[in-house]
Amino acid sequence: MTDDARALWAAVVHQALLDTAGVRHRTGPVGRCSAIQDRALETAARRADAWIRTGGKDYRLVCAYAGVDADALRDRYIAGRIDMHAVRYLYGSSGKGAG
């Protein structure tokens, strides 16, 4: 697998972690979220949380493609040992990959 492909799959894992924290995408104007946006964030958070917690086939495959230890990430997430501040800024404020 190429480095670019691995980075793409790592971005999927990264986005799932952001989603669990309800981090809003920076694609629109900064301001208050509407009720619809709030519900969308809550839905994304629930789905991402379930995706990580259940550790299913898709989760494991994405982690493998990303070069991430699926069990270690899941265990750390469930134990609350993921530094969400660091995750939030891993790819910079633009949402694009670092470098």
For residue 92, give the DSSP letter. -
The answer to whether residue 57 sits within a structural domain is: yes
The answer to whether residue 93 sits within a structural domain is: no
The answer to whether residue 52 sits within a structural domain is: yes
Domain that holds residue 79: 3-88
- Spatial CA neighbour of 14 closest among 76, 72, 68, 54: 68
The answer to whether residue 26 sits within a structural domain is: yes
pLDDT tens per residue, range 33-63: 677 888 888 999 999 999 999 999 999 999 9
Long-range pairs for 45-49: beta carbons < 8 A, 24 or more residues apart: 45/19, 45/20, 45/21, 47/19, 48/15, 48/16, 48/17, 48/19, 48/20, 49/20
The answer to whether residue 68 sits within a structural domain is: yes
Higher pLDDT: 32 or 64? It is: 64
The answer to whether residue 63 sits within a structural domain is: yes
The answer to whether residue 97 sits within a structural domain is: no
* Count of domains forming the chain: 1
Average pLDDT score, the chain: 83
Gap between the Cα atoms of 74 and 55, Å rounded: 7
The answer to whether residue 99 sits within a structural domain is: no
- Spatial CA neighbour of 40 closest among 25, 26, 29, 28: 25
